[in-house]
Amino acid sequence: MITIALPKGELLKNSIHLLKSVGLDFSAFLESGTRQLQIPDASGNARLLLVRNHDVPVYVEYGQAQLGIVGYDVLREKKPQVAHLVDMQFGHCRMSLAVKESSPYRSPLDLPPNCIVASKYVNCARDYFQSLDLPVEIVPLSGSVELGPITGMSEAIVDIVSTGRTLSENGLVEIDTLYKSSARLIAHPLSYRLSTGGLQNVVEMMRSQIRSRIEGIKGFHGGS
């Protein structure tokens, strides 16, 4: 039996729809009010674990799940020992550096040396500023990172941005993009090499579905 770890939140619906297209039906997780954390699919050939986004690669790395779907931002931050298989082509967002709109900073190098930057993504932020050779103090926050500059605790934040609406509504502006992110399919390396439970066949079917969707989108735009 293949075990698949999926994240709660924005990636869940698209992930379940894609799995259903390759014959693995976990639609019960989309029913309102369900509190189940694991369910089998109808065939009994796979089961699904519903976990927090940052925990998906942990379950895969330690072999409790053979496959997982998770944001690239999580993989960049945690650097787990997993096989990176497929860009799922949904869950698009970006890791951004943002400051108060009223501040004088309009590029990363405008920031004063040793200033404070707040972030949930401490490792990503540290790697970024080291690449710029700009010494800063990274302060870890687990939520409402936007409050850092608003309260004056930090000069800037590094955080995931989708539409930019939250930043705008809180008087913040992006001044650089660290990288772009999307949902990724990951696997336990040994399980993938051994194709445990027909794992490689499932992955190839998912690849095929993603290719078909991309070609369909290109065809739609080409014909419009």
CA distance linking residue 57 with residue 97, whole number of Å: 25
Q: Which domains does the chain have, with CATH numbers?
A: 2-91+182-223 (3.40.190.10), 93-180 (3.40.190.10)
> Measuring CA to CA, how many Å separate 220 from each of 14, 91, 92, 114, 207?
20, 21, 20, 50, 20
pTM: 0.90
Cα dihedral value 214, 216, 222, 224, nearest 10: -130
- Would you give per-residue pLDDT tens digits along the chain (224 residues)? 899 999 988 899 999 999 999 999 998 888 766 777 888 887 788 999 999 999 999 999 999 999 999 999 999 999 999 999 999 999 999 999 999 999 999 999 999 999 999 999 999 999 999 999 999 999 999 989 999 999 999 999 999 999 999 999 999 999 999 999 999 999 999 999 999 889 999 999 999 999 888 877 666 556 54
Nearest Cα to Cα of residue 17 among 206, 203, 198: 206
**Spatial distance between the Cα atoms of 112 and 86, rounded to a whole number of angstroms:** 39
